[in-house]
Amino acid sequence: MNTDRVIIFDTTLRDGEQCPGASMNLKEKLEVARQLARLNVDVMEAGFPISSPGDWESVNLIAKEVEGPTIVGLARAIEKDIEAAGTAIAPAKKKRIHTFIATSPIHMEKKLKKSPKEVLKMAVKSVKFAKTFTDDVEWSAEDAGRSEIDFLVEIVTAVIEAGATTVNIPDTVGYQMPNAYGKIFAELKARVPNINSCVLSTHCHNDLGLAVANSLSAVQNGARQIECTINGIGERAGNCSLEEAVMSLKVRSDIFGLKTGIVTEEIYRSSRLISRITGFAVQPNKAIVGANAFAHESGIHQDGVLKHASTYEIMKPEQVGVSKTNLVLGKHSGKHALKLRIEDLGYNLNDEELLKTFEKFKILADKKKEIFDEDIVTLLEEESRFAEVYSLTYLQVTAGNRTIPTSTVQIKTENGEVRFAATGDGPVDATYNAIDGIAKLKVEVSDYSIKAITRGQDAIGEVSLIATIDGKKYPGRGASTDIIEASANAYINSINRYCSAIKHKEDIEKTLKGI
Ligand code: KIV
Ligand code: ZN
């Protein structure tokens, strides 16, 4: 099928969530799924239902609650996987099963311990079984990038014959180069007799930094579906980044002559949401969504942009949802001005949410003279956090070059407010020790980073970290004009994620026991 429309298949909730430290809880997954629907992705891979009861539940919930995109469940070429995927996606209006099996010599021999003949048989059987749950069946040749082309031609012909409506050719290990990867698609187009009865799909990993380039090359050679993730998150070096692939097709439509259905103005918001939920900060120079993507530092560039934006800008920041407005709010701004600004930023709050945000806005405006759009987005994101078991109500820190850093924290818990003081190697360490004294947990922090997310000397600082609790990693993020408070909030955020994961596990166990 060669149309001028490229299907955008988002796998942030499956391949993206698979990367270490990016796991999301049920509520967060639903929030992401809703945002992906606003972004107008065509297809959303919601999870891998057989992998855990929690995954089945989240795919099922998304299938029930999220309208618009086709909802996909992933399955190996095994009946119980396909059954789990089929039952999980059942409530969706538009649903797809995505089943896969490896086709490269190394995977077939060393991992599956099966001959190509056996693999072909399993692939055909899996597609036929998936068809009993839905007409829309995608089949993937795992490690296609290192598979033999003659075998790919044979197996792709067979799965289409069995009913696959989409055939995906993944570069699972990010090994391919754009020309060679594109050639696989060109050969399949030329040699598979029934190729026009399916949509050809590309799925690239970024191990050599070529995931987007390879995906675009596949599109130039006949692929009409791109599998990708927000911010390019995913296994190892990640997947093809949705925002980069989509904007490449849009900005260079003169080359591609192709369209997507993406509402590009929702890109920045989607990126922020994924970054907040996973705790993975976006590098400042990241294309499209990085903090510097539209910043012009050198005098020559600034002068050029002021005279005519397109001298140095190949796309407008507004096109991807980055607001360039100069309207700055402050402590004299009223609720109505804030409401208009929030609406301009693409958020819709009900009266109660607006009131809560306005209260927080007033507190921030007391600390910070000018409130920029980024400050407001941070407030809104803080507001949409999942249920908090712990929240910081008081923090006092003494530190200096000749004192032992001491921190007193007060935390609101389910059993009321608790105060604790501790010393440490520095003010942040002292604060973390004090929080440990209240939460009674052993927490190890890694990947601590801090960055200014808004402008000016009184900018909001955002702390991201990964906390290991009971052997599992939980991202944490906190923002404040005070970096010790931001550090405390990030730490508490990861502890809240831990508590929510524990509670979720207990709920699932209860459900399974029928309590
Ligand atoms: O990278 C890969 O091969 C995959 C498949 C499951 C499609 O993620
Ligand atoms: Zn993958």
pLDDT of residue 107: 98
CA of 205 to the centre of ligand 2 (A): 6
C-alpha 212 to ligand 1 mean position (Å)? 16
Identify which has the larger pLDDT, 459 or 360: 360
- Answer yes or no: is the C-beta of 15 below 6 A from any ligand 1 atom: yes
CA angle 250, 255, 258 (to 5 degrees): 50
Atom of ligand 1 nearest to the CA of 15: 8
The CATH superfamily of 7-278 is: Aldolase class I (3.20.20.70)
Q: Which residues sit opposite 419 in a β-bridge? A: 410
Helix (H, G, I), strand (E, B) or coil at 473: strand
Q: Whose CA is nearest to atom 2 of ligand 1?
A: 172
Find the angle CA(164)-CA(169)-CA(174) to the nearest 5 degrees.
Answer: 155
pLDDT at 383: 63
Give pLDDT, residue 245. 98
Pocket test for ligand 1, best of 100, 111, 166 (most atoms within 8 A of CB): 100
511 has a pLDDT exceeding 60: no
Q: Identify the nearest ligand to the CA of 48 by its number.
A: 1
Choose the weakest-confidence range: 171-180, 225-234, 456-465.
456-465
Residue 65 has pLDDT above 80, yes or no: yes
> 171 C-alpha vs ligand 2 centroid, how far in Å?
8
Residue 415 or 453, more confident: 415
Q: Which atom of ligand 1 sits closest to the CA of residue 172? A: 1
Question: Mean pLDDT throughout 457-463?
Answer: 80
Among 55-59, 271-275, 439-443, 458-462, which stretch is predicted with the lowest mean pLDDT? 458-462
Contact residues for 153 (Cβ-Cβ < 8 A; gap 6+):
187, 188, 191, 192
Give the mean model confidence (pLDDT) for residues 90-117: 98
Q: Which ligand is nearest to the CA of 167?
A: 1
C-beta 243 within 6 A of ligand 1: no
Query: Which protein residue has the closest C-alpha to ligand 1 atom 1?
Result: 172
Distance (Å, whole) CA 234 – CA 227: 12
What is the number of the ligand 1 atom nearest to the C-alpha of 11? 8
User: How many A from CA of 383 to the centre of ligand 2?
Assistant: 32
Residue 456: its pLDDT value, please? 72
| Pocket flag, ligand 1, residue 139 (CB < 6 Å) | no
pLDDT of residue 380: 82
Q: Note the pTM of the prediction, 2 decimals.
A: 0.80
CATH class of 391-506: alpha beta
Of 361, 363, 372, the closest CA to residue 336 belongs to 361
Residue 130: band (very low, low, confident or very high) from pLDDT cuts 50, 70, 90: very high
pLDDT band at 385 (very low <50, low <70, confident <90, very high): low
Output the CA 227–ligand 1 centroid distance in Å. Answer: 10
The reply to whether ligand 1 has any atom less than 6 angstroms from the CB of 170 is yes
DSSP percent split of the chain into helix, strand, coil, nearest 5: 45, 20, 30
Q: Are 87 and 52 in contact (CB under 8 A)?
A: no
3-state secondary structure at position 297: coil
Structural domain boundaries in the chain: 7-278, 295-324, 326-382, 391-506
pLDDT value of position 513: 58
Q: Who has greater pLDDT, 25 or 222?
A: 222
d(CA 32, CA 37): 9
Question: pLDDT averaged over the chain?
Answer: 90
The residue whose CB lies within 8 Å of the most ligand 1 atoms, and thus the one to mutate among 140, 159, 173, 239, is: 140
Ligand 1 atom index nearest CA of 18: 8
- Which DSSP string corresponds to 264-311? GGGHHHHHHHHHHHH--PPPTT-TTTSTTTT---SHHHHHHHHH-GGG
Cα 331–Cα 333–Cα 338 angle in degrees, nearest 5? 115
Q: How far is the CA of 63 from the centre of ligand 2 (A)?
A: 22
Q: What is the pLDDT of residue 140?
A: 98
pLDDT, position 238:
96
Q: What is the pLDDT of residue 481?
A: 87
Helix (H) or strand (E) holding 151: helix 149-162
Q: What digits encode the pLDDT tens for the residues 282-319? A: 988 999 999 888 876 667 776 777 778 888 889 999 99
Residues forming beta bridges with residue 141, ordered by sequence position:
101
Q: What is the mean pLDDT of residues 218-232?
A: 98
Instruction: Find out whether 19 and 230 touch, Cβ atoms under 8 Å.
Output: no
Which residues pair with residue 417 across a beta bridge? Answer: 412
pLDDT of residue 227: 98
Question: Cα of 238 to ligand 1 centre, how many Å?
Answer: 12
pLDDT confidence of residue 515? 43
Distance (Å, rounded) from C-alpha 46 to C-alpha 33?
8
Q: Is the pLDDT of residue 343 over 80?
A: no
CA of 464 to the centre of ligand 2 (A): 26
Q: In the β-sheet with 472-480, what is the strand arrangement from edge to edge? A: 443-452, 461-469, 472-480
Distance CA 310, CA 292 (A): 17
Q: 262 pLDDT exceeds 90?
A: yes
Residue 205 CA: nearest ligand 1 atom is 1
Closest ligand to residue 168's CA: 1
pLDDT, mean of residues 387-402: 89
Q: Is the pLDDT of residue 418 over 50?
A: yes
Residue type, 176: Q
Low-confidence winner among 252-256, 371-375, 379-383, 401-405 (lowest mean pLDDT): 379-383
Would you state the pLDDT for residue 133? 98
pLDDT > 90: percent of the chain:
65
Does ligand 1 have an atom closer than 6 angstroms to the CB of 100? yes
